[in-house]
């Protein structure tokens, strides 16, 4: 379901991203010798991954990478970075920041903010509306049950 792709990326980050990773790799692999480490954080940000240069350097160091980064290594680094955000409790914690009533729900405006925080800023208004329809509480169309939303997105 393409309409959920933007939100699904933060819930299931490695799903259906292979082509996108290859495309971004190609954009940054100008000389066909890999992505220079100095541009690696920019390449990851092009995929919607929030990462600082220092975090990227640490990721590269922990992976034992030296020199330019080839496609396989780039894919592995992207997956490793994204897996940091797949823990459901971390995702719930991001939603709880906006849960002013402490009832497991947030407003639609807050949901949009959470999704931007989690990297789904490229989601169109239509995609956002369709996703929200799946997780609204019965009787209150202005609030979304975020645990239900997470489960809905995981099933897609």
pLDDT at res. 150:
75
pLDDT at res. 25:
94
Q: Count other C-beta atoms under 10 Å from residue 59's C-beta.
A: 19
pLDDT at res. 84:
60
Strand order of the sheet with strand 136-137?
105-107, 140-145, 136-137
DSSP state of 36: -
Give the side-chain half-sphere CA count within 13 A for 85. Answer: 24
Answer yes or no: pTM beyond 0.75.
no
Which tens digits make up the pLDDT trace of 111-122? 877 777 666 666
Which tens digits make up the pLDDT trace of 8-48? 444 444 445 788 899 999 999 988 999 998 999 999 989 88
């Amino acid at each position: 379901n393409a309409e959920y792709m933007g939100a699904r990326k933060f819930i299931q980050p490695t799903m259906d991203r292979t082509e996108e990773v290859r495309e971004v790799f190609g954009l940054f692999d100008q000389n066909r010798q890999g992505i220079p480490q100095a541009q690696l954080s920019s390449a990851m940000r092009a995929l919607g991954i929030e990462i600082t240069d220092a975090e990227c350097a640490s990721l590269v160091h922990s992976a034992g990478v030296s020199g330019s980064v080839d496609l396989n290594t780039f894919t592995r680094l992207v997956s490793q970075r994204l897996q940091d955000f797949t823990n459901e409790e971390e995702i719930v914690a991001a939603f709880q920041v906006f849960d002013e009533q402490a009832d497991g729900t947030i407003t639609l405006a807050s949901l949009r903010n959470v999704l931007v925080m989690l990297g789904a800023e490229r989601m169109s208004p239509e995609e956002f509306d369709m996703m929200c329809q799946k997780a609204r509480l019965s009787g209150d169309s202005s609030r979304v049950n975020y645990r239900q939303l997470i489960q809905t997105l995981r099933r897609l």
